[in-house]
Amino acid sequence: MSRVASVKRQFGHRARLGLSPAEVSAADAQAHAARTMWNLLHAWWQMMPKDRRTLANADAAIRQSRKDVDFLAVLPAQAARAVLKAYFQAWKNCWEGRADAPNFKGRFRSVMSVDIPQGRDLNVKRVHRRWGMVNLPKIGRVRFRWTKGLPVGRRADSENRITGARLVKDALGWHIAFRVMTQEPAPDPHTGPEVGIDVGVIVPLALSDGTAYEHGAWLTEREKARLLRLEQLAARRKQHRKPGERTSRRLHRTYDEIAGLRAKAKRRAADWQHRTTTTIARTYGTVVVEALTVTNMVKSARGTVDVPGKNVAQKAGLNRSIAAEAWGRTVTLLAYRLERNGGILVKVPASGTSQRCSACGLITPGSRESQAVFVCKNPGCGWSGNADHNAARNLLHLYRIGLVAVPAAGRAVVRRARRVKPPTVR
């Protein structure tokens, strides 16, 4: 009897919490205590000599601070230790060149969050078709929206369980993000076709087979008008504030309403990305995308005082459009969804893919007539078509000849070794 291969999956699931006003105040107090704990750790780190900056000394300092400062005691002990581990991990990321050095967290600039590192403290249960119950340390038993099957009750074991969670507050309220570990059967290799995908601003996703995935505005005309009125109102109220004066409650409420509308638009964009990537992962077996460095693409064109930049306003608008499309998140969603369906995601070099003709393979100056039209200027070709689909066909061509930049999935390494052809000796 053959044994079915299985794979371990670790993923997160975010759900909205149904908190009462008293529970919201308790969660806010814990989040502010966690932020204060981070700032105290950073101040302690700067004051201590290098030979005394150890995890044990920092843990002792945290324990003593929770005894001496009353409002820090509202933070559960496990959450305080999670702040300590996150702070030391931030320094490790800095030393290894993955991030900047950690700094103080501002009251209004940082995300309010509380970590619950142990899953056994949650005691998650489903009580209704749409609602579940979870235990939050020092808050109590609260409701959350049940939108995904979680390994709880009889479905939970040592290989399928909730390993922890984090409380996160955004403009739409408090949410809980579960950390889930499951053991699932390994998917069979996807037998779907190969496709290249070109990302853009006018056409968000253009496929090499001629398919295009587009979306409209994330806010309705009425919501856009309301957002504009709120922004104008906030600007007027900000003018009446004197230098050094605290922000009024009215201005804070206006900022909250603006943040709520922007968060709604962001959620609609994320929902479109989830639905679109799910459809692509179920349809195609191999997806080829560009190896883009988005951070370099959205750099400002302002320049310096000695050498000022050109078309700064136009470049700023393009940067906002690129950031709004969130290309990196789309590729991340495609990667793990393809892996779950047995497909692979491959990245190829992006240079020259928008200028090359996918029919004759030549780069002729002037072929890219506009943002949407490509007409090959090669006298022997003359092919014309959509510029985005032409770039997607070029991406697929690079993969088929073996020019792979970064394999993005586990099986992509093996697939690349099979697809790469040795150079022809002449």
Q: Place 27 in a pLDDT band, splitting at 50, 70 and 90.
A: very high
Inter-residue contact 276 to 284 (CB < 8 Å): no
- What do you get for the CA distance between the two ends of the chain, in Å? 52
Averaged pLDDT, 41-67: 89
- Convert the pLDDT of each residue in 406-422 to its tens digit: 544 444 333 443 443 43
Helix (H) or strand (E) holding 292: none
pLDDT at 317: 78
The two three-digit tokens of residue 213, written as one number? 């995935």
Residue 321 has pLDDT above 80, yes or no: no
pLDDT at 418: 43
Checking 123-128 for CB contacts under 8 A at 24+ apart, the result is: 124/150, 124/152, 124/162, 124/178, 125/152, 125/153, 126/150, 126/152, 126/153
| AA letter at 18 | G
- Convert the pLDDT of each residue in 350-401 to its tens digit: 777 788 887 787 777 777 766 678 888 777 787 787 888 888 888 888 888 8
Question: What sections of 244-311 are H helices per DSSP?
Answer: 249-283, 294-297
Domain extents in the chain: 1-183, 187-215+257-426
Helix (H) or strand (E) holding 27: helix 21-47
Residue with tokens 């800095």: 94
Enter the pTM of the model.
0.80
C-alpha R_g of the chain: 26
- Convert the pLDDT of each residue in 70-101 to its tens digit: 888 899 999 999 999 999 999 999 999 888 89
Higher pLDDT, residue 311 or 167: 167
Instruction: For the chain, give the percent of residues with pLDDT over 90.
Output: 37
Query: What phi, psi does 340 have (nearest 5°)?
Result: -70, -30
Q: Transcribe 302-370 into DSSP letters.
A: -B-SSSB-SSHHHHHHHHHHHHHHTHHHHHHHHHHHHHHTT-EEEEE--TTTTTB-TTT--B-TT-B-S
Please name the residues in contact with 417: beta carbons below 8 A apart, sequence gap of 6 or more.
none
Higher pLDDT, residue 164 or 402: 164
- In angstroms, rounded to a whole number, what is the distance separating the alpha carbons of residues 95 and 347? 28
- Convert the pLDDT of each residue in 212-261 to its tens digit: 899 988 999 999 999 999 999 999 988 888 887 888 888 889 998 999 99
Q: Place 113 in a pLDDT band, splitting at 50, 70 and 90.
A: very high
Instruction: For the chain, give the percent of residues with pLDDT over 70.
Output: 91
Which range has the worst mean pLDDT, 36-45, 270-279, 321-330? 321-330
